[in-house]
Structure 1
Amino acid sequence: MRNPEEIPINILDEVRDGLFTTDHTGLITFVNAALAEMHGLDGPGEMIGRHFSEFVSPEFRDEISHKFKKAVEEKSYSEVVEFCTVRKDGEIIFIQLKHGPVIRNGQVVGTAGVIRDVTDLKRAEKALAASEKKFRDLITNMQEVLYTLDRDGRVTFVSPSIESMAQYKDPEIIGHQMKEFIFKDDLPRLYQDFQDFMAGRGETEHEYRLVTKNGEIRWMMTHSSLLWEGGEVIGIQGILSDITEHKRVEEELRESEEKFRSIVETTSDRVWETDAHGVYTFVSPRVRDLLGYEPEEFLGRRPFEFMPPEESARMKAKFARIAKERKPFVGIENVNVGRDGRRVVLETSGVPRLDAQGKLLGYRGIDRDITDRRVAEEGLRRSNDELELRVQERTAELELRNQELQNFTFSASHDLQEPLRKIQTFADLLATKYLDSVSEKGRDYIKRVHETASRMRDVLQSLMKYSHLISRIEPFGRIDLNKIAREVVSDLELRIRDSGASVWIGDLPEIEADAGQMRQLFQNLLWNGLKFSRKGIQPRVKIHADCGSQERECQIYFDDNGIGFDEMYVERIFKPFHRLHGKEDYDGVGMGLAICAKVVEHHKGSITAKSTPGKGSTFIVTLPVNQVKAISSSLSSRPEREIL
Structure 2
Amino acid sequence: MSDTVPDAEDSTALVDALGDGIYRLDADGRVLRINDALLDLTGYSREALEGAHVSMLFGAATRDRLGDADGTAVDVVIETSDSGQIPCEVRVNAVSEGRVGVVRERSTADDEDDVRTPPNSVSAVIEEADIGVFVLDADRRVVWADTTVERYFGLGRCAVVGRDKREVIEEQITDHVADGERFAETLLAAYADGRYPNQFECHVTPGEDREERWLEQHSEPIESGEYAGGRIELYYDVTDRKRSEGSLRDAEERFRSLVDAVEEYAIFRLDTDGTVISWNEGARSIKGYDADEILGRHFSAFYTEADRADGVPQANLDAAYRNGSVEDEGWRVRQDGSQFWATVTITAVYDDGSHKGYLKVTRDLTDRHLRERELESELEQMLGRISDAFYAVDDEFRFTHVNERAEQLLGYSQEELEGTVMWKALPEGPGLYGEFQHALTRQESTSFERYFEPLGIWAEVNVYPSETGLSVYLRDVTERKERERELELFKNLLDQSNDALLISNPETGAIHDVNDTAVERLGYTRAELLDMGIPDVETELSGREEWRTFVEELRAEGQTTFNGLHQRKDGSTFPVEVEVSHAEFDQEYVLSIARDVTERREYERKLEASNERLEQFAYSVSHDLQEPLRMVSSYLQLIEERYGDVLDEDGQEFLAFAVDGADRMKAMIEGLLAYSRVETRGDPLEPTDLDSVLADVCTDLQLRIEESGAEITADSLPTVVGDENQLRQVFQNLVENAIEYSGEAPPAIRIDAERDGQQWRIDVHDEGVGIEAADQERIFEVFERLHTQRDHDGTGIGLSLVERIVERHGGEIWVDCEPGEGTTFSFTLPAAEE
Tell me, yes or no, whether TM beats 0.5.
no
Q: What is the TM-score of this pair, normalised by structure 1?
A: 0.40
Q: TM-score, normalised by structure 2?
A: 0.31
The structure with the largest alpha-carbon Rg is 2
